Amino acid sequence: MSNPVSEFNDYRSRMNERLLDDGSTLLKRIFSLDNHAYQKGELNVATKELLGLVASAVLRCDDCVKYHLENCHKEHLSKTAVMEALEIATLVGGTIVIPHLRRAFEYWEALESNSKQ
């Protein structure tokens, strides 16, 4: 049986490695900046991940939504908190976000299922 969480992480890791192996200094700096932006600062990591999740949903980037969902899960955010953030994203982004909301909900359930195993 396929595991959407493992499939996503395997693909992401493999392709990030390939990109960075062939990437310019600029690309490496962009990746580094993204990594540093979500570290604890004046805002805690969980809040930053929710902000990233909302922005990713509004921009309709399913890969980014999955990435932030995983980090929200690692930060032990509740399903209710994550869904509330996704509801705000749907309000801001409009009904075009609904298909991404469905996939986000499905991916969150996969994350929960994996953590029970």
pLDDT tens readout for residues 71-117: 999 999 999 999 999 999 999 999 999 999 999 999 999 999 999 87
Q: How far apart are CA 73 and CA 85, in angstroms?
A: 13
* 1's tokens: 């049986």
| Number of structural domains the chain divides into | 1
Q: Domain containing 47 — which CATH number?
A: 1.20.1290.10
* 4's tokens: 């959407």
pTM above 0.85, yes or no: yes
Domain that holds residue 97: 4-116
